[in-house]
A and B are shown apart, each in its own frame.
Chain A
Amino acid sequence: MRPRTEVPIYKRSLFSWVFKTSVPLQLLLLLLIIGVVFLRVLPLEIQKRIINDVLAVGDVSQLLVYCLIFLLAVVFSSLLKLSVNAVQTVIGQRALTDMRRELYQHILRLPLSFFRKTPTGTVVASLVTELSASANFVGAAIAVPLSNILTLVAIGAYLIWLNALLGIVTLSIYPIALFIVPLVQRGVNTWNKRRVDSSNKMASRITESVSGISEIHAQGSFQDEERSYNSIIERLLKIRIIWTLYRYGVKVTNNLFVGLGPVVVMLLGGYLLMQGETELGSIVAFLSAQEKLYDPWKELIDFYQTQQDASVRYQKVMQIFTGQTEFTLIAEQRSPPAIRGSIEIRDLEFVTPNGIKLLDQLNLSLEAGEHLALVGFSGSGKSTLAKCIGQLYSYTGGELLIDGRSVAQMSKEEVVRSVGFISQDPIIFSGTINDNLTYACNALADYPDRDNDREPVSLDDKIAVLQQAGVFVDTLRFGLNTILDHQLHPELEERFLKIRANFQDNFGAELAEHVEFYYQDNYLYHSTIVENLIFGSIQSDLTLDSLEENREFLTFLDSVNLKLPLLETGAELLKQTVDILGRDVPRDNVFFEQTPVEPSKYDRCLELADQLGTAPLTKLATENRLLLMKLAFRYIPARHKIVDLQQLLEKLILAGRHEFRVWSGEHMVGAVSFYKDTEYIRSQSILNNIFYGNLTSDSPKVEDRVNQCIVQLLIEEDLLEQVAAIGMEFDVGNRGDKLSGGQQQKLSIARVLLKKPKVLIMDEATSALDNNSQSRIQNLIEKWKGSRTVISVIHRLDLLPSFDKVAVMKTGKIVESGEPQKLLADQGVLHELVHGKKR
């Protein structure tokens, strides 16, 4: 884990990043800049010498030497400038990465209250876009001002050296510009702010009108709305014109001053030349220098604007994230004492920043290993109390002690070592089941291993907690639905074939009506068209997924009269999908489950939908035809009900299946292995291989029966753990969206159980689970009595008897606490909660 920096990031200035990132690179930059400046001045002197020394005497060889030097100076100057840009970019990008890294590190550790009041979009925008401007500035912070100022000084000094009087007069223009340009720039800034305000006003006006459009139509208030909108845009028009004029003003003022330079040179220089006080070469050098002065000057002005913009944005970002973490990360003691789990709460209070008292004078005590149920009406503060004990909220008054030590003073390290927290709304991160399962243990591994007793998590441990949380069978199912990687598990194929034989012998007849077997003459309604056609797997670079791109295969389709019917099916699928989903549907998997269209290709489909019907399908562009063919190939009649499988097409495909066997024997020799009940099918999942077919039923009873059969067969072949391990590699999707709510909840329970915490806090952790799962977890927890402390916010009051103590909460107070049986006998608030209010 990275050590935390001394000064918190939000207190650091933008300029502090300039040298933080890379001092050697900045020094290199400095050297390069000095080189560039020298090479910028050198041509001026060469130019002067050519006119004064060479042209006067007509020395051709000298002329060639000077021209060569001039040329080299120009070339090297360009090369050095390129190097300056490269170094500047590296510095800028490194600064951006550092800023992003440190700010993210800071954000993650901010208190939860910060995230309640800060919209996610703000956090995302700050990290993703807002910091870029600051980083560009950091990259340019040294290079741009230094190279331009040095260039100005060097050229200035050279000019004075050439002719002091003419030099001073020429340069005197710049201080005046330096005074006037910022004045005009101030005007730009002022009007720019007005422009932003006015644009915002316009945006909110539009939003209001659009959202209230039905009222506008109802009242016929079109003209009134237009009037108020027009007044805004007219004001914006005025502001934008003035703002633009000011911006040009800066340019014009600058150009004016710079333009005055040559006049001064010609006037005063001409006079001095006539008086014989200077040479023609010097005057030419002065005139060239005017141009060379202009570029650095302009760059400086631009830099000034960049710096203004960057510092405003940087300050804004840092203002958002002002705030410190509420706890230390690593324990200060070398070896903090192991937690036993006793909990003492005295006069505990939690008041929100708005002054709302969520917890009020709570008192409670729990021996190590005791189990406490927190019950009460909704909004009574149960969750808040649980979060305070888990150090997710920092309480504002009273004391909360674990083993006599204040939770507020404990480091995060100590808390995560010993306290497990399971929330009501589980958060599952993208990644695999395994990544999520080991999340808490992996986090622990980032803290120092003080007692050298940390052991790696074994597969057995993982399987045990998956079973305890009730998500083992699901994981097994994910494993069974995986298409086995032949390279990774070459030895498994034979064993699954054995299971296939056992399945047929033991369960084949029983489950036959729920399986669509891979029979050569039957159409498979639960398979794709391309699977139906090939009826095998392809063992070459070609895959079923890219078959539509293979020209030879397309020619084959044409020869069996399938090309046009498939294009038509693809077109129909596309038309129906676009018609049903519309243009604005989120590209979220959930909306695309009943169509072969992939969300990522939906925009292309929308474009193609507009073209359909205007030309025959065969005349469409090749890529469009391929897209339609792909949709048809992916079509599964049993799943994609937006289109029916035409009988004619079904017959053609079955006929095509036979033809393909013949054709592939000539064109794809040895590349296709056809479905055979004695061979493993590499293009199908493990489960389909065991069945030698597709499961067609979604009945829970059938599912249970299938699971029982498969588990039995896997145990017999000693493959249960291996398949579970394959299942643990299942990708759970973005925020776990490929898992059901129950699966997410169970996985979040399993990951905390894997950590084996001394204190377990469950904040309605099992509320989304079915009764059996709840009971299973409750039974498991009961076995921990005496060894692990449990605090559980529960809503199922029939679970109460398994707890040592219960605390009943109402509006932030504990109104009753004690043994559940005793409280029920007393017929107080708990009794009322359990049996309902007497009516």
Chain B
Amino acid sequence: MNSSTERNVESDKRTGFEQDLDHLRKVPLFQGLDYECLKLIAMLCKQIDMIEGDQLMVQGEDDGYAYYLVTGSLQIFHRQDDVDYPMKTLEPGQFIGGLALLGKTIRLFTVQANEKSTLLRLHRDNFQKVMEQFAGNMTRIAANLASELTGWEKDILNLTERKELEGGNQVLGISLL
């Protein structure tokens, strides 16, 4: 490949597209994808600017988007009995909503911008159009997803008390899906 998209990532002269591409290369779900495939994904990502209070996703809705946070910060909420409980805060470099790229996903959380934030946004329909072009890469995505889920549950297990496990925790086991 001889394109300028392969320029040194440390260079200051990267185009907006090259910067997007570098961000996406760090996303765990996209690890190991063909470079051509990732370029096409970057081409279909839109950079958007949000202001404080803008909602990226709303609990109970299927918006079909995944986001990469470039600058700013995001807050995750979970609503129960009409109360929004704040949960994790997301920092730049994090990717959220990837599951929605794979199929209809009703959100279990609400996510909103804490401050002025810049994000890369990718919609399921566009992602799937890219995957139609690079069908072989879907296996890679599935493998990445499986590994993410397993790793995630491993972390939870490490954090869970032995006693609780012996008591027959009924919630754990997502990696046994």
The chain A residues found within 8 Å of chain B, CB to CB, are: 575-576, 579-582, 584-586, 588, 590-591, 593-595, 641-644, 697-702, 741, 767-771, 796, 839
Q: Does B3 contact A (CB under 8 A)?
A: yes
Contact partner of B60 (CB less than 8 A), chosen from A580, A644, A771, is A771
Given A642-B15, A700-B55, 6 new contacts (CB under 8 A): A579-B4, A580-B3, A586-B129, A593-B44, A644-B16, A796-B60
**Which residues of B7-58 are within 8 A (CB) of A?**
13, 15-17, 20, 36, 39-40, 42-44, 46-51, 53-55, 58
Closest B residue to A643 using CB positions: B15
Tell me the bound Cα distance from A605 to B3 in angstroms. Answer: 16
Enumerate chain A residues within 8 angstroms of B17, measured Cβ to Cβ.
Answer: 576, 580, 594, 641-642
Enumerate chain A residues within 8 angstroms of B64, measured Cβ to Cβ.
Answer: 741
Closest A residue to B48 using CB positions: A698
Enumerate chain B residues within 8 angstroms of A839, measured Cβ to Cβ.
Answer: 170
Enumerate chain A residues within 8 angstroms of B40, measured Cβ to Cβ.
Answer: 580-582, 585, 591
Q: Does B126 contact A (CB under 8 A)?
A: yes
Select the residue from A576, A582, A769 with max chain B CB neighbours within 10 A.
Answer: A576
**Which residues of B122-166 are within 8 A (CB) of A?**
125-126, 129, 133
Enumerate chain B residues within 8 angstroms of A700, measured Cβ to Cβ.
Answer: 50, 54-55
Q: Does B114 contact A (CB under 8 A)?
A: no
Q: What's the least CB distance linking A541 to chain B, in Å? A: 36
Say yes or no: B50 contacts A770, CB within 8 Å.
Answer: no
Closest B residue to A698 using CB positions: B48
Enumerate chain B residues within 8 angstroms of A641, measured Cβ to Cβ.
Answer: 15-17, 20, 47
Say yes or no: A771 contacts B16, CB within 8 Å.
Answer: no
Q: What's the least CB distance linking A535 to chain B, in Å? A: 25
Question: A641-B15, A642-B15, A771-B58 known; A699 and B50 CB under 8 Å?
Answer: yes
Say yes or no: A576 contacts B3, CB within 8 Å.
Answer: yes
Q: What's the least CB distance linking A210 to chain B, in Å? A: 13
Of the A-B pairs whose beta carbons lie under 8 Å apart in the complex, a sample of 10, sorted by A's number, is A579-B5, A580-B39, A590-B126, A591-B40, A591-B44, A642-B43, A697-B51, A698-B49, A700-B50, A768-B62
Q: Does B91 contact A (CB under 8 A)?
A: no
Say yes or no: B43 contacts A594, CB within 8 Å.
Answer: yes
Q: What's the least CB distance linking A636 to chain B, in Å? A: 12
Q: Does B84 contact A (CB under 8 A)?
A: no
Tell me the bound Cα distance from A600 to B170 in angstroms. Answer: 56
Enumerate chain B residues within 8 angstroms of A580, measured Cβ to Cβ.
Answer: 3, 5, 17, 39-40, 42-43
The chain B residues found within 8 Å of chain A, CB to CB, are: 1, 3-5, 13, 15-17, 20, 36, 39-40, 42-44, 46-51, 53-55, 58, 60-64, 125-126, 129, 133, 170
Closest A residue to B51 using CB positions: A699
Tell me the bound Cα distance from A771 to B13 in angstroms. Answer: 43
Say yes or no: B58 contacts A699, CB within 8 Å.
Answer: no
Select the residue from B17, B43, B63, B133 with max chain A CB neighbours within 10 A.
Answer: B43
Enumerate chain A residues within 8 angstroms of B20, measured Cβ to Cβ.
Answer: 641
Say yes or no: A588 contacts B5, CB within 8 Å.
Answer: no
Tell me the bound Cα distance from A768 to B104 in angstroms. Answer: 9
Tell me the bound Cα distance from A590 to B50 in angstroms. Answer: 23
Q: Which 3 A-B pairs have the closest CB atoms?
A: A641-B16, A579-B3, A839-B170
Enumerate chain A residues within 8 angstroms of B133, measured Cβ to Cβ.
Answer: 584-586
Q: What's the least CB distance linking B41 to chain A, in Å? A: 10
Say yes or no: A701 contacts B36, CB within 8 Å.
Answer: no
Contact partner of B4 (CB less than 8 A), chosen from A576, A581, A591, A767, is A576
Q: What's the least CB distance linking B18 to chain A, in Å? A: 9
Say yes or no: B5 contacts A699, CB within 8 Å.
Answer: no
Say yes or no: B53 contacts A701, CB within 8 Å.
Answer: yes
Say yes or no: A644 contacts B55, CB within 8 Å.
Answer: no
Tell me the bound Cα distance from A805 to B168 in angstroms. Answer: 39
